[in-house]
A and B are shown apart, each in its own frame.
Chain A
Amino acid sequence: MRAILLILLVCLAALANAERVIHKEKSLYRNIEVKESNNRRCLVFAMRRRDRNQTCINLSHPDRVVFPYARMTFAGLILNPEPESILIIGLGGGTLPTVISKLFPEAIIDVVEIDEAILRVAKQFFNFVESEKVKVIVQDARVYIKRAGIRKQKYDLIILDAFTGDYIPEHLMTVEFLQEVKSIMSDRGVLVANTFSTSKLYDHESVTYQRVFGDFFNFKMPGTANRVIVATGKPLAPKKLIQDRANRLSGKMTRYGVNIDDFPRYMKRGKDWNEKERPLTDQYSPANLLRGE
């Protein structure tokens, strides 16, 4: 009897907090849902066990970047405050390209997204707009980057945000792939990668990035499980310079809810991973299996 009551209570609580599903579709790659609750609209890649929000927007403050990891992505600007050409891998709801294009109206922003349905949803529900400067290419990122390398294209800022779903695209996490990424980075180019902070994958992935870029900033903030790698392939900029630049940027970042001047003290230079782990390569890339270990 008590159990039944408890279940009823839980159901009631769930109803009170109800999210409305305003759009649902099955794409070639995943189930997509758009949910709305308390002023928030979220893009969700639906799964049975736990849904994972991909992007949320705050309906009453549409400029605010809702997710900590998305905010952390802006750390790349500290290392290159004036990017002119930007490549974003993974569109999601389009928050990053939208905010970045507001910050740098003159910059060219190319977004590579594998799933056409995501692009449609981003436009329809998340106010994402393509323009002369902001273009979306529907393609596998590995293919796009390989071709960009052949064209000798260069980017000042590359944001790798393809690892938020349940399945990791393993060919986007290998030494060879990162070398291809490095080859399309300009002289002052910065790579920002939103990656994994737990499981054995953390060690393997860190070793992989280290192999290609040398030392990088290992950026983790309290209260999130995300780890953002900020790499340039050059010696790490000194602490003071980083903090000065962050302070200078903070003025224009506050309206997006990004406290960029807080970032430098969490951008660690040390190696807190097992350096003896095997780097991931095209020959050896069981990333999804390693995540389970």
Chain B
Amino acid sequence: MSVELLGGRILAPYFGSSIYVWGSIISVFMLSLSAGYLIGGRLSLNRPDLVRYGCFFMFAALTLVPTVLFGNGMMDAVFLQIEDPRYGSLVASTLLFFLPVAMLGMIAPYSVRLLVVSSHHSGQVAGLLYFVSTLGSALGTLMTSFYFVLWFEVNQILLTMVATLMTAGAASILYAKLVVR
């Protein structure tokens, strides 16, 4: 959600802040999340483990890096190619956000698979995960829109997220290597 909010910031210099820019961003985020859920769920069938789980975090972090580094270049290109800011913003937000957000979407169903021990508790685990992730989204939204944009630059916030995701991924992989074995 924090990335989604910043998405508005990132696109505004090229496509304005008209209502359709927000429409593009929200649609792309929903689409990429849904794709991520589907793929994450599918992958969880195949001998799920914490190493692979950690890799999802790592990949999400890595796919955010080009958004930070080459975002303006990409938007320049889109801006020149597409006159209509509706489709311009739709294409740009797809290029910038589809991959990282889809990767983040894969985490949720995979977490369910890793945490569920019995089908009896599956509903409870899913509920807990929804709780944590939605609460996190709410806090991320609040902190980003109320304070982070006042204290930091957009790219600083994004890079902090990259670092956080990397750390989470590394922690998961280390845990798998050291403890589980």
Residues of A at the B interface (CB closer than 8 Å) are 28-29, 114, 139-143, 146, 150, 169-171, 174, 176-177, 281-286, 289-290
Contact = CB atoms under 8 A, between A and B. Distances in A.
B13 A282 contact: yes
A143 B153 contact: no
Contacts of A146: 13-14, 79
A227 to B, nearest CB: 22
29 contacts: A114-B16, A139-B16, A139-B85, A140-B15, A140-B18, A140-B85, A142-B12, A142-B14, A142-B16, A143-B14, A143-B16, A146-B13, A146-B14, A150-B80, A171-B13, A171-B16, A171-B17, A174-B13, A282-B12, A282-B13, A283-B154, A283-B156, A284-B152, A284-B153, A285-B149, A286-B149, A289-B146, A289-B149, A290-B150
Given A283-B156, A284-B149, A284-B153, 20 more contacts: A29-B19, A140-B15, A140-B17, A141-B16, A142-B12, A143-B15, A143-B16, A146-B13, A146-B14, A146-B79, A150-B80, A171-B16, A282-B12, A282-B13, A283-B155, A284-B152, A286-B150, A289-B146, A289-B149, A289-B150
A144 to B, nearest CB: 9
A167 to B, nearest CB: 10
B9 interface: yes
Given A28-B19, A140-B85, A170 B12 contact: yes
Interface string B1-40: 0000000010011111111000000000000000000000
A285 B9 CA distance: 9
Contacts of A290: 150
A146 to B, nearest CB: 7
Given A28-B19, A140-B85, A283 B14 contact: no
Nearest to B12: A171
Contacts of B9: 282, 285
A7 to B, nearest CB: 37
B13 A177 contact: yes
B149 to A, nearest CB: 5
Q: List the 3 shortest-distance A-B pairs measured between CB atoms, nearest first.
A: A140-B16, A283-B153, A171-B12
A176 B12 CA distance: 12
